[in-house]
Amino acid sequence: MNYLRPVIGRVNLTNCVHSYAKPPRTLITGGLGQLGTALATRLREKYGRDSVILTDVKKPSHKVYSEGPYAYINILNYYEIESMVVNEGIDWIVNYSALLSAAAEANVSVAMDINMKGFENVLNVAKAHDLRVFCPSTIGAFGPTSPRKKTPDLTIQRPKTVYGVTKVYMELLGEVSSSAFIYGNVVLLICEVVKVFVCVSACVSVCVSACVSVCVSTCKHNIS
């Protein structure tokens, strides 16, 4: 099965060309979780230690500090994101900032702010500065009425959790943005890829690293 196929089909990834003359600089938001630190490690191995800036709203361990650049970013603040992008010459944004599952159910308004408004801020910064964006979705974006066997890319999505609802919003906004901003399918494509591997933690960092490197770097369609 080809997990890298476009979901909607607006962009043929096989026809896209690499446009970077030097290694891209990547900003990872919400980066102190398992996916963020694992992805930072793999991208630094490929592009260099200082090519990835890991960010979050918490103080990291000494190990995180020692492995590469780290900074504080609250994605609810548009200007904090934009300042980092401009000052550090960022090319890619990987948005892992989200309030998950039980925490989202207990803090609905906060979850909606982080998972929805935060993502809007990332997209708007990317549009303003000609960046590429990766943002994963979740198997929670499906619901009890979604087909449980051979679930298609485009299907009924009626989640029963706040977290799932915010991720469906993210997917749809990514799809709308692809039309409005000539954005291609990078956001929506990656959402579907991550759903496949979301329950296999050992595979996630490998899959995500490969997908970010292939899909985000090779597609010539930006948000601008």
Q: Tens digits of per-residue pLDDT, 156-165?
A: 889 999 999 9
Active site residue 72: no
Give one DSSP letter per residue of 9-70, joined into a string. Answer: -S--GGG-----SSPPPEEEETTTSHHHHHHHHHHHHHH-GGGEEEEESS---HHHHHHS-E
139 vs 78: CA distance, rounded Å: 28
Q: How far is CA 70 from the centre of its chain?
A: 18
Per-residue pLDDT band at 58 (split at 50, 70, 90): very high
Q: Taking residues 88-100, what's their average pLDDT?
A: 94
Q: Positive or negative CA dihedral for 104, 110, 114, 116?
A: positive
Residue type, 166: T
- What's the pLDDT score for residue 136? 85
**What residue spans define the domains of the chain?**
21-218
pLDDT at 209 over 60: no
CATH code linked to domain 21-218: 3.40.50.720
Active-site residue, selected from the candidate residues 47, 163, 169, 183: 163
Confidence at residue 165, expressed as pLDDT on a 0 to 100 scale = 95
In the predicted model, what is the mean pLDDT of residues 40-45? 94
pLDDT at 120 over 50: yes
Q: Quick one: pLDDT at residue 155?
A: 86
- pLDDT above 70 as % of the chain: 70
Which run of H or E residues covers position 92? strand 92-95
Q: What is the pLDDT of residue 174?
A: 80
pLDDT of residue 178: 60
Global pTM?
0.76
